[in-house]
Amino acid sequence: MHELGITQNIVAIVNEHAQGFPVKRVTLEIGQLSAVMPDAIRFCFDVCCRGTVLEGSTLEILEIPGLGKCRQCGTEVALNEPFGICDRCGSADLEIVRGTELKIKEMEVEKVCA
């Protein structure tokens, strides 16, 4: 399960950027064509957050649908897999435009006043 390593990296990046402040929420964008399983990330998240400023934080995952563009006629095609056929001209020569993302979109920290 490569999602464990990915989740560990996400937690490390957020932990670094939080600069010691408690993290309340982390929002990720995961493309449907990225070969990353959102449910596996959710499963690993709480375990990876233990003992860090992310412990107890909420994880939100926005799943980004796949989209391709035909290199022959320019038609945009919805993709559920990293390959497909153009609905308009029948070409299989598609460029993936969206759906391979794996991004930390935002994080919410709680700034504690001393």
How far apart (Å, rounded) are the C-alpha atoms in residues 114 and 107? 22
Q: Is 86 annotated as a binding residue?
A: yes
Q: Is 113 annotated as a binding residue?
A: no
How far apart (Å, rounded) are the C-alpha atoms in residues 19 and 107? 12
Q: Is 49 annotated as a binding residue?
A: no
Residue 86 near residue 72, CB atoms below 8 Å: yes
Strands 76-79 and 66-70, by their bridges, are antiparallel
Q: Is 44 annotated as a binding residue?
A: no
Residue positions forming the annotated binding site for Zn(2+): 70, 73, 86, 89
Annotated binding-site members? 2, 70, 73, 86, 89
Query: Which residues belong to the annotated binding site for Ni(2+)?
Result: 2
